[in-house]
């Protein structure tokens, strides 16, 4: 995925209007592009062509349904460890070797290693966390989600 | 909600995104040997039950210059945490907002909010906005910036019944 900003002239006003409007939703009807195009003053074909272009330049991360991973089955748990500096790389190797480790970030804090465990069954979270503790001799703090709040995140394009 | 094998096939087929074609749901139906109406009805049911949060476009915020982010964490009084979490999550610069258990004595924070901005100072300014919103309900706070991505794999859903 593109992690650098696009040049300022990469997007015109229509591109920006599309990116802003479709963040809020996309219709679930037979011809959704035609319906979404209307308030933007575009035709169905124009909207599809614009979206192709935006995807090609890396301006779109995802376009489609956003699933609640837990509702589909599976369990997730944010975990953190305080890893001594001189053992950092070795511990990362041990942690990342587990397929259940989905994301892993180094962060500036005494708790300097933060990762997400993703498993098919809830019980497996404990098994993997305990295995990492046994392999590293370090505590794995578990921060399971107690409540997730509705997200109003929108990027102004 | 119980999702069945057909729902699961629809999820797997659309996880990477919808086809950019005039009738995208008909296209998905064709891939799976279903009817367009069946795909639309099932997506609609999953959306109503919360399995699908929304069908939408997610801009690449890095491409749009929103390249700075930090994990802000807050120690919010237990009896205020739910109400305050709702308010923080609704902010347009917060992409994830969760209530999690504290890990005392190491970790007093129970509210986690990922903040995005175009620069580190902008993220700090937004963090102050959250602090102002929480007011006296917040007893301690911190922000953790990532220094390295050590692993990032997408969610992989196994096919099963």
Residue B105 preceded by cis peptide, ω within 30: yes
Q: Does B128 touch chain A (CB under 8 A)?
A: no
**CA A119 to CA B95: how far, in whole Å?**
23
Q: Which domain holds residue A127?
A: 75-143
pLDDT digits (tens, 9 = 90+) for A80-134: 999 999 999 999 999 999 999 988 999 999 999 999 998 888 889 999 999 999 9
pLDDT at B148: 86
> Scanning every residue of chain A, which has its alpha carbon at the shortest distance from the alpha carbon of B115?
A153
Q: Is residue B53 part of a domain?
A: no
- My answer on whether B20 and B73 are in the same domain is no
- My answer on whether A50 and A79 are in the same domain is no
- In this predicted structure, the answer to whether residue A156 has a pLDDT above a threshold of 90 is no
pLDDT at A68: 82
Q: Is residue A46 part of a domain?
A: yes
- My answer on whether B98 and B36 are in the same domain is no
pLDDT at B161: 34
> Scanning every residue of chain A, which has its alpha carbon at the shortest distance from the alpha carbon of B114?
A153
User: Is A115 in Cβ contact with B24 (below 8 Å)?
Assistant: no
- My answer on whether B85 and B124 are in the same domain is yes
Beta strands in chain B (DSSP E): 52-59, 68-76, 94-99, 111-117, 138-144, 146-152
Residues on chain A touching B63 (C-beta within 8 angstroms)? 2, 4-6, 57-59
Tell me what percent of the residues of chain A surpass a pLDDT of 90: 76
Q: Which domain holds residue B36?
A: 7-48
Q: Is residue B149 part of a domain?
A: no
Q: Does B95 touch chain A (CB under 8 A)?
A: yes
- Rounded to a whole number of angstroms, the distance from the CA of A31 to the nearest CA of chain B is 5
Q: Is residue A2 part of a domain?
A: no
pTM, full prediction: 0.83
Q: Is residue A22 part of a domain?
A: yes
Q: Is residue A27 part of a domain?
A: yes
Q: What is the residue whose two structure tokens read 């610069």?
A: B93
**What CATH number should be reported for the domain holding residue A17?**
1.10.10
- My answer on whether B32 and B85 are in the same domain is no
Q: Which of A48, A61, A157 sits opposite B20 (nearest CB)?
A: A48
pLDDT at B114: 96
pLDDT at A67: 86
Q: Is residue A148 part of a domain?
A: no
Asked if A82 and A139 count as a contact pair (C-beta separation under 8 A), the reply is yes
Q: Does A67 touch chain B (CB under 8 A)?
A: yes
Q: Does A3 touch chain B (CB under 8 A)?
A: yes
pLDDT at B159: 42
Mean pLDDT by 10 residues, chain B (161 residues): 87 92 98 98 94 92 90 97 97 95 95 95 98 97 92 57 34
pLDDT digits (tens, 9 = 90+) for A55-79: 999 999 899 999 887 777 778 999 9
Residues on chain B touching A44 (C-beta within 8 angstroms)? 22
Q: Is residue B160 part of a domain?
A: no
- My answer on whether B106 and B136 are in the same domain is yes
> What would the two tokens of residue B45 be?
């049911």
**What CATH number should be reported for the domain holding residue B79?**
3.30.70.920
Q: Which of residues 131-150 of B touch A (CB under 8 A)?
A: 142, 144-150
- pLDDT category of residue A5 using cuts at 50, 70 and 90: confident
Which letter, b or e, does each residue of A83-111 get, where b requires 16 or more Cβ atoms within 10 Å of its Cβ? beeeeeeebbeebeebebbbbbbbbebeb
- Rounded to a whole number of angstroms, the distance from the CA of A131 to the nearest CA of chain B is 18
- My answer on whether A51 and A99 are in the same domain is no
User: Is A144 in Cβ contact with B100 (below 8 Å)?
Assistant: yes
The complex's ipTM?
Answer: 0.83
- My answer on whether B41 and B93 are in the same domain is no
> What would the two tokens of residue B39 be?
């795909």
Strands A75-81 and A113-119: what pairing? antiparallel
- My answer on whether A39 and A79 are in the same domain is no
pLDDT digits (tens, 9 = 90+) for A13-61: 999 999 999 998 999 999 999 999 999 999 999 999 999 999 999 999 8
Q: Does A121 touch chain B (CB under 8 A)?
A: no
Q: Does A148 touch chain B (CB under 8 A)?
A: yes
- My answer on whether A95 and A131 are in the same domain is yes
Q: Domains in chain B: how many in total?
A: 2
Q: Which of B79, B78, B72 is nearest to B132 (CA)?
A: B72
Q: Is residue A88 part of a domain?
A: yes
pLDDT at B1: 61
pLDDT at B155: 52
**What CATH number should be reported for the domain holding residue A96?**
3.30.70.3460
- My answer on whether B139 and B72 are in the same domain is yes
Asked if B159 and B8 count as a contact pair (C-beta separation under 8 A), the reply is yes
Residues on chain A touching B71 (C-beta within 8 angstroms)? 107, 114
Chains A and B form CB pairs within 8 A to the count of 246
Sequence-distant (6+) residues with CB within 8 A of B146 are: A105, A106, A107, A114, B69, B70, B71
């Amino acid at each position: 995925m593109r992690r650098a900003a696009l040049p300022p002239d990469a997007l015109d006003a229509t591109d920006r209007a599309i990116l802003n409007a479709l963040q809020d939703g996309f219709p679930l009807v037979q011809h959704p592009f035609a319906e979404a195009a209307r308030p933007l003053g575009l035709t169905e074909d124009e909207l599809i062509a614009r979206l192709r272009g935006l995807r090609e330049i890396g301006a779109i991360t995802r376009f489609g349904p956003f699933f609640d991973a837990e509702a589909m089955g599976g369990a997730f748990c944010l975990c953190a460890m305080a890893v001594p500096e001189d053992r950092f790389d070795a511990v990362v190797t041990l942690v990342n070797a587990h397929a259940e480790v989905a994301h892993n970030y180094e962060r500036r804090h005494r708790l300097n290693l933060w990762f997400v465990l993703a498993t098919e069954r809830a019980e497996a979270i404990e098994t993997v966390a305990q295995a990492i503790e046994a392999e590293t001799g370090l505590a794995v703090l578990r921060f399971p989600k107690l409540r997730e709040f509705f997200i109003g995140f929108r990027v102004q394009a | 909600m119980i999702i069945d094998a057909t729902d699961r096939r629809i999820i797997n087929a659309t996880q990477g995104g919808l086809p950019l074609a005039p009738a995208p749901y008909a296209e998905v139906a064709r891939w799976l040997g279903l009817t367009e109406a069946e795909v639309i009805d099932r997506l609609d049911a999953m959306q109503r039950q919360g399995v699908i949060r929304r069908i939408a476009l997610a801009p690449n915020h890095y491409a749009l210059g929103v390249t700075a982010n930090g994990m802000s964490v807050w120690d919010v009084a237990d009896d205020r945490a739910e109400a305050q979490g709702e308010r923080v999550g609704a902010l347009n610069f917060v992409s994830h907002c969760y209530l999690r258990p504290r890990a005392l004595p190491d970790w007093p924070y129970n509210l986690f909010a990922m903040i995005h901005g175009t620069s580190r100072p902008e993220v700090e300014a937004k963090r102050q906005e959250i602090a102002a919103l929480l007011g006296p309900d917040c007893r301690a706070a911190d922000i953790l910036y990532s220094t390295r991505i050590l692993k990032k794999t997408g969610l992989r859903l196994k096919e099963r019944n």
